[in-house]
Amino acid sequence: MKIKSIDVRVLKVPLEKEYSAGGRSVGANWHVMAEVTTEDGVVGFGYIVALNHMFIGTVAAATRELAPLLIGMSVAEPEAAWRKLAKAGDWVGPGGLLHYAIAPLDIAIWDAFGKTLNLPVSKMLGGMRDRLPVYASDGFWYSLSLDELAESAKRAADAGFRAVKLRVGNEITPEGEVGRVNAVRDAVGDGVSIMVDATETWTLTRAIRTGKALQDAGVIWIEDPVSHTDVVSMARVTEALDVPVATGEHLYQIADFTRLLEARGTGVALIDLGRIGGITPWRHVASMAHGFGVQVGGHVLPEIHVHLLTAVPNARVVEYVPRSSRLLRAMPELADGALVVPPGGGFGLELDQDAVRRFSV
Ligand SMILES: [Mg+2]
């Protein structure tokens, strides 16, 4: 189980269609991928994904610089490995670029550990269930007209999703935001749940007013209504609404989640696998949220999050944004509105080596 070698590469995976997010046009998904090979010949892989090419090379360089520290360590000691990497980079961390650099290595170690034991990572982390409801989250950007939005939602419903999440926050009035939700409702009917992500665009007053209008329109969660740095306002919105506020994808440190949970600032803590620094710290945040009676969700990377979320008792739903599907032979199966843990060791995923070569830069 000892780590013999580690390869790190950057992949540029082009999108079929460009879209605009956060004022930027997005044409490719950038990956930093690590492949960990053990002395027994087991290969585990892990990656982070970004929409922006800036600093991808820098993150990859940092990952490459950290990798030799793991040679000779066992894949059965991910916690010890994580601490070693974090300590080595403690003058630029914790958080930030350091966590993004550690994450591909940590994720690859868990995959190699699972493949060595021939156990899915979901089972190794707790094995609560073998599937979890999933929502479609790709293709619902602000830039879409009402018709395009409705069409996108219809496509998701036809593909078997029973929940979708729209981006809101760009309309001038709360009624305008409700109009976007209604357009989707008309397209998909009552059998599909609707969530919204305001991507931190509102003031506190606006968030409460619009949040109430949206919950009356039937949405089941409101994500990032205000800035993630304003925990007090996040807690006020949480208190004012009946539906849960989901937030957390921008947080880098366990202590940030402690502060959010202590302030009662969320009903669903969203943990980003890259920002938090991989699976090892992800587990700590999920357990802490459980202690506060708060549910958890992931942010992107559904093929990996399906393992983490099915492992723990307080998971709510998997976000489906298939940014890495072109690198894989197959994504986990969608059945009856749920994402199913693939059989096989580790993540149960197989890289498409031709695609990996083609997209390497
Ligand atoms: Mg979000």
The amino acid at residue 37 is T
Whether the per-residue pLDDT at 19 is higher than 80: the answer is: no
What's the pTM value of the predicted model, to 2 decimals? 0.96
Contact 334, 159 (CB under 8 A): yes
Task: Give the Å distance between the CA of 116 and the centre of ligand 1.
Answer: 34
Task: Give the Å distance between the CA of 115 and the centre of ligand 1.
Answer: 31
Task: Give the Å distance between the CA of 250 and the centre of ligand 1.
Answer: 9
Task: Give the Å distance between the CA of 129 and the centre of ligand 1.
Answer: 25
Beta bridge partners of 328: 351
Reported as a pLDDT band with limits 50, 70 and 90, residue 27 is confident
Whether the per-residue pLDDT at 16 is higher than 80: the answer is: no
Whether the per-residue pLDDT at 153 is higher than 90: the answer is: yes
The amino acid at residue 180 is R
The pLDDT, as a whole number, for residue 22 is 63
Contact 268, 299 (CB under 8 A): no
Q: How far apart are CA 110 and CA 175, in angstroms?
A: 46
Task: Give the Å distance between the CA of 224 and the centre of ligand 1.
Answer: 7
Task: Give the Å distance between the CA of 176 and the centre of ligand 1.
Answer: 20
Whether the per-residue pLDDT at 17 is higher than 90: the answer is: no
Whether the per-residue pLDDT at 175 is higher than 90: the answer is: yes
Task: Give the Å distance between the CA of 194 and the centre of ligand 1.
Answer: 14
The pLDDT, as a whole number, for residue 245 is 98
Q: How far apart are CA 79 and CA 283, in angstroms?
A: 11
Domain 3-118+353-359, CATH number (from 3.30.70.2200, 3.30.390.10, 3.40.50.300, 1.10.760.10): 3.30.390.10
Domain boundaries, the chain: 3-118+353-359, 122-340
Locate 106 and state its tokens. Answer: 């940590």
Mean pLDDT value across residues 27-47: 97
* Cα–Cα separations (whole angstroms), residue 79 to 46, 116, 141, 179: 16, 17, 37, 47
Whether the per-residue pLDDT at 271 is higher than 80: the answer is: yes
Architecture of domain 122-340: Alpha-Beta Barrel (3.20)
The pLDDT, as a whole number, for residue 222 is 98
Beta bridge partners of 10: 32
Q: How far apart are CA 328 and CA 107, in angstroms?
A: 16
Task: Give the Å distance between the CA of 260 and the centre of ligand 1.
Answer: 16
In tens, the pLDDT along 67-77 reads 999 999 999 99
Fold matches, 3-118+353-359 and 122-340: no
Beta bridge partners of 21: 24
In tens, the pLDDT along 96-127 reads 999 999 999 999 999 999 999 999 999 999 99
The pLDDT, as a whole number, for residue 259 is 98
Task: Give the Å distance between the CA of 240 and the centre of ligand 1.
Answer: 20
The residues, ordered by sequence, that sit 6+ positions from 118 with a Cβ below 8 Å of its Cβ are 344, 345
Q: What is the DSSP string of 242-266?
A: SSPEEE-TT--SHHHHHHHHHTT--
Q: What is the DSSP string of 121-160?
A: HHHHTT---SEEEEEE-SS--TTS-HHHHHHHHHHHHHTT
Task: Give the Å distance between the CA of 107 and the centre of ligand 1.
Answer: 22
The pLDDT, as a whole number, for residue 21 is 67
What's the gap between Cα 285 and its chain centre? Answer: 14
Task: Give the Å distance between the CA of 166 and the centre of ligand 1.
Answer: 10
312 three-state secondary structure: coil
Whether the per-residue pLDDT at 38 is higher than 70: the answer is: yes
Mean pLDDT score across all residues of the chain: 96
Task: Give the Å distance between the CA of 167 and the centre of ligand 1.
Answer: 8
% pLDDT > 70, the chain: 99
Task: Give the Å distance between the CA of 72 and the centre of ligand 1.
Answer: 38
Tell me which residue of 134, 123, 127, 128 sits closest to 334, measured CA to CA: 134
Reported as a pLDDT band with limits 50, 70 and 90, residue 203 is very high
The pLDDT, as a whole number, for residue 201 is 95
In tens, the pLDDT along 122-143 reads 999 999 999 999 999 988 888 8
Task: Give the Å distance between the CA of 165 and the centre of ligand 1.
Answer: 9
